[in-house]
Structure 1
Amino acid sequence: MTILYKNNIEFKISPNEHPYLNGAWSPCREEVDAVDMEVIGEIPKDISGIYVRNTENPVRDAIGIYHPFDGDGMIHAMSFHNGQAKYSNRLVQTKGLKAEQEAGHALWTGIAGNPAKSEREGWGARGRMKDSSSTDVVVHGGNILSTFYMCGDGYILDPETLETTGTADWVPEGGISAHPKVDLATGDLLFFNYGKEAPYMHYGVVGADQKLKHYIPIELPGARLPHDMAFTQNYSILVDLPLFWNPDLLKKGIHANQYYPDLPTRFAIVPRFGNPSEIRWFEAAPTYVLHWMNAWEEGNEIVLDGYFQDDPDPAPLDVPGLDKKFGKLLANIDEHSFKPKLHRWRFNLDTGKTTEERLDDRILEFGSFNQNYAGIKSRYLYSTTTKPGWFLFNGLVKHDMETGDSDAYMLEDGRYASESPFVPRINAKSEDDGYLISFIIDTVNDRSECILVDAQNVSAGPVCRIILPHRISSGTHATWANRDELVTV
Structure 2
Amino acid sequence: MPTLVNRVPSTIRPDTDHPYMTGAWSPTFEEWDGADLTVIGEIPRDLDGVYLRNTENPVHEPIGLYHPFDGDGMIHAMSFRDGRAVYRNRFVRTKGFLAEAEAGEALWAGLAEHPSKSLRPGWGAQGGLKDSSSTDVVVHAGQVLSTFYQCGEGYRLDPATLETLGVEGWVPADGISAHPKVDEATGELLFFNYAKTAPFMHYGVVGPDNRLKHYVPIPLPGPRLPHDMAFTKNWSILNDLPLFWQEDLLPRGIHAARFHPDMPSRFALIPRYGQPDEIRWFEARPCYVLHWLNAWEEGDEVILDGYFQEDPAPPPLPGFGRMGQMMAYLDEHSMKPKLYRWRFNLRTGETKEGPLDDRILEFGTFDQRVAGVKNRYVYSTTAKPGWFLFTGIVKHDLDTGRSWSLAFGEGRYGSEAPFAPRVGGTAEDDGYLVSFITDMAENRSECVVVDAKDIEAGPVCRILLPHRISSGTHACWAGGERLASRPAPAG
Shorter-chain TM-score range:
over 0.9
Identify which of 449, 467, 470 aligns with 2:467.
470
CA distance in 2, matches of 1:214, 1:429: 33
8 Å Cα contact 1:123/1:151 also seen in 2: no
CA distance in 2, matches of 1:117, 1:50: 40
CA distance in 1, matches of 2:274, 2:469: 42
Offset of residue 429 of structure 1: 2.2
Offset of residue 104 of structure 1: 1.1
1:190 maps to which residue? 190
Identify which of 342, 356, 360 aligns with 1:359.
356
Offset of residue 253 of structure 1: 2.1
1:3 maps to which residue? 2
2:125 maps to which residue? 124
Identify which of 325, 328, 343 aligns with 2:322.
325
CA distance in 2, matches of 1:123, 1:296: 36
Matches within 5 A, 1:24-63: 24-63=24-63
CA distance in 2, matches of 1:442, 1:108: 31
CA distance in 2, matches of 1:377, 1:96: 41
Matched, 1:429 2:426: yes
For structure 1, the residue ranges without an aligned partner over 5 or more in a row are none
Write out per-residue CA displacement over residues 369-416 of structure 1, whole angstroms, 9 at most, x where no aligned residue. 000000000000000000000000001000000100000001211000
8 Å Cα contact 1:122/1:131 also seen in 2: no
- The alignment's TM-score, normalised by the length of structure 1, stands at 0.98
Offset of residue 252 of structure 1: 2.4
For structure 2, the residue ranges without an aligned partner over 5 or more in a row are 486-491
2:223 maps to which residue? 223
2:240 maps to which residue? 240
Matched, 1:340 2:341: no
8 Å Cα contact 1:451/1:464 also seen in 2: yes
Aligned partner of residue 236 in structure 1, secondary structure? strand
CA distance in 2, matches of 1:119, 1:222: 29
Matches within 5 A, 1:286-325: 286-319=286-319, 323-325=320-322
Offset of residue 167 of structure 1: 1.1
CA distance in 2, matches of 1:214, 1:97: 31
Write out per-residue CA displacement over residues 234-281 of structure 1, whole angstroms, 9 at most, x where no aligned residue. 100000010011111113221111100000110000000000000011
* Mean Cα deviation higher: 6-15 or 417-426: 6-15
CA distance in 1, matches of 2:28, 2:447: 16
Matched, 1:369 2:366: yes
Aligned partner of residue 98 in structure 1, secondary structure? helix
CA distance in 1, matches of 2:219, 2:125: 19
* Mean Cα deviation higher: 161-170 or 248-257: 248-257
Matches within 5 A, 1:129-148: 129-148=129-148
- Aligned letter for 2:207? G
Write out per-residue CA displacement over residues 325-357 of structure 1, whole angstroms, 9 at most, x where no aligned residue. 111110001000000000000000001111001
- Aligned letter for 2:483? L
8 Å Cα contact 2:4/2:30 also seen in 1: no
Matched, 1:94 2:98: no
CA distance in 2, matches of 1:79, 1:371: 18
Offset of residue 5 of structure 1: 4.5
- Aligned letter for 1:123? G
Offset of residue 424 of structure 1: 0.4
CA distance in 2, matches of 1:4, 1:118: 36
CA distance in 2, matches of 1:478, 1:22: 22
Aligned partner of residue 290 in structure 1, secondary structure? strand
CA distance in 2, matches of 1:383, 1:235: 24
2:489 maps to which residue? none
How many residues in Structure 1 have an aligned counterpart in Structure 2? 483
Offset of residue 11 of structure 1: 1.0
Matched, 1:274 2:241: no
Aligned partner of residue 328 in structure 1, secondary structure? helix
CA distance in 1, matches of 2:256, 2:35: 47
1:204 maps to which residue? 204
- Aligned letter for 1:122? W
CA distance in 1, matches of 2:427, 2:107: 50
- Aligned letter for 1:40? I
CA distance in 2, matches of 1:279, 1:148: 27
- Aligned letter for 1:448? S
CA distance in 2, matches of 1:340, 1:153: 29
- Aligned letter for 1:232? T
Aligned partner of residue 249 in structure 1, secondary structure? helix
CA distance in 1, matches of 2:378, 2:427: 14
